[in-house]
Amino acid sequence: MPSILCVDKIQSRDGVTKLLLENMPSGYVLASTIIRSSTRTSVSTAAQSIIFSGSFTKQRADTNLAATCTVFGSTYYSGNCGVGMRIDASNWDHGCAYQYDGQYGTTQTTIIIGQSYWTGVSAGAHTIGFGWRTADGGADNRPFAFLNPNSTEDARNQQMSSTIILYEIYP
């Protein structure tokens, strides 16, 4: 017969030390972080740019990171610019893509979705961000002109919000 644990709180003997979960099955989530941007922002035309980001703390060195994103923009610009997510200053994963939604024009909505995966990221404080990095290094590329469109683009729009959800998972 399986054991059942019914408690309101589990803590270490000293009340301060973090409890460690050892021998967890592969794919189990240890921690999650939500990074959200809800401000309409003009977007750079640089060859590489992070347009929103946030901080997180990775708990263990032996875990991996997986992230999903949904990003909203407006005003068609470049059909291909290498969108992706980045950990810290240079650890890119380009598992994101977009297509333009609606009729081509100045108020067209762009929806970017994707997922990224990293191994070998150290434990401790880090940042994750969304942006682009062109393969050819060419400037004047960006997926859209404005992040998080609102009624400025179209009177029917509510304020849109872009999100990254990051998971620290057991390998």
Residue (of 129, 124, 137, 135) closest to 168 by Cα position: 124
Mean pLDDT of the chain: 89
Whichever domain contains 51, its CATH number is 2.60.120
- Mean pLDDT on 51-65: 97
C-alpha span between 68 and 58 (Å, rounded)? 17
- Count the alpha carbons within 13 Å of 109 in the hemisphere toward its beta carbon: 19
- Please report whether residue 119 resides in a domain: yes
Whether the predicted pLDDT of 49 surpasses 70: yes
Domains: count for the chain: 1
Checking if the pLDDT of 161 tops 70, the result is yes
pLDDT tens per residue across span 125-157? 999 999 999 988 888 888 899 999 999 988 888
Whether 10 is in a domain gets the answer no
Q: Is residue 22 domain-resident? A: no
pTM (two decimals): 0.85
Collapsing DSSP states into helix, strand and coil, what is residue 52? strand
Please state, for a pLDDT cut of 70, what percent of the chain lies above it: 91
Map tokens 């922002």 to a residue: 41
What confidence score (pLDDT) does residue 33 get? Answer: 98
Residue 99 or residue 113, greater confidence? 113
Classify residue 14: in a domain, yes or no: no
- Picking from 120, 140, 142, the residue whose alpha carbon sits closest to that of residue 130 is 142
Q: Tokens standing for 20?
A: 């460690």
At which residue do the structure tokens 């875990």 appear? 63
Taking only the tens place, the pLDDT of each residue in 65-105 is 999 999 999 987 887 889 999 999 999 999 998 877 666 66
Q: Looking at the domain assignment, is residue 150 inside a domain?
A: yes
50 neighbors 86 (Cβ within 8 angstroms): yes
Predicted pLDDT of residue 104: 60
pLDDT (0 to 100) of residue 6: 74
Would you say residue 15 lies in a domain? no
Domain interval for residue 119: 29-169
